[in-house]
Amino acid sequence: MNASCKRPRSNDQLPNDEVCLDQIEQAPHVPPISFKDMLQSSAIFEKPIGASSAAAMEEDQLVIQDGDFEVSESANCPSIRFSEQIKEKLYRPWRNSIIIKFVGRAQTYNFILARLKQQWQLKGPMQLIDLANDFFIVRFLLEEDLNHVLTGGPWVIAGQYLTTQK
């Protein structure tokens, strides 16, 4: 018997049948995504990784140099001021986002997510991020969806008003 061939363990095939591992086409190797990268980003809001997006990824890298910030010491605490360029890079992912809160009792994450998708009927995907004290951030992929939510209210879900803030 050849070293690269093995016998199947199931009884579905005849005992003399062999499956050669050399004949099985191997899938192309894709580097695994780290757990940290999964937590820090959402796949629907990221640019595809590839040779064509290398320049875009390089542009989005947050590199802070000496001239990009100013540290000042006050009596109570230190203060750090960033340049407009750094502020723009920090704000960019949150440009199409709003903060929401229900007036009244708290609702669960899954309930809110389902009801918002049902009532808003967005054209693109959205991401709901749970914050403390029953606040949520909603990130939209499309600016059109953001404008629809901000101007289409008032929104009432389960008898409670939804407050929105840009």
CA angle 32–22–4, rounded 5-degree value? 105
**Number of domains the chain contains:** 2
What are residue 141's phi and psi, to 5 degrees?
-80, -35
Distance CA 70, CA 79 (A): 8
Residues 123 and 159 in one domain: yes
Q: What is the pLDDT of residue 16?
A: 52
Q: What is the pLDDT of residue 12?
A: 53
Do the domain assignments include residue 22?
no
Residues 134 and 99 in one domain: yes
Q: Which domain holds residue 142?
A: 95-165
Do the domain assignments include residue 47?
no
* Residue 19, H or E segment: strand 19-20
Q: What mean pLDDT comes out for the span 133-155?
A: 91
Residues 146 and 114 in one domain: yes
Do the domain assignments include residue 127?
yes
Instruction: Give tens-digit pLDDT for 2-42.
Output: 555 565 565 555 555 554 545 445 555 666 766 656 545 54
Do the domain assignments include residue 129?
yes
pTM of the entire structure? Answer: 0.57
Residues 68 and 79 in one domain: yes
Contact 166, 95 (CB under 8 A): no
Instruction: Give tens-digit pLDDT for 40-75.
Output: 554 445 444 444 444 444 555 777 777 888 888 888
**Residue at which a domain ends, from 72, 93, 114:** 93
Q: What is the pLDDT of residue 52?
A: 42
Q: What is the pLDDT of residue 146?
A: 92
* 94, pLDDT greater than 80: yes
Do the domain assignments include residue 69?
yes
Alpha carbon separation from 54 to 33, 34, 47, 48, 138 (Å, rounded): 17, 19, 10, 10, 28
Q: What is the pLDDT of residue 37?
A: 61
Q: What's 119's domain CATH number?
A: 3.30.70.330
Do the domain assignments include residue 64?
yes
Q: Of residues 3 and 82, which shows the higher confidence score?
A: 82
Q: What is the pLDDT of residue 10?
A: 56
Distance CA 153, CA 161 (A): 10
| pLDDT above 90: percentage of residues in the chain | 27
Residues 89 and 139 in one domain: no
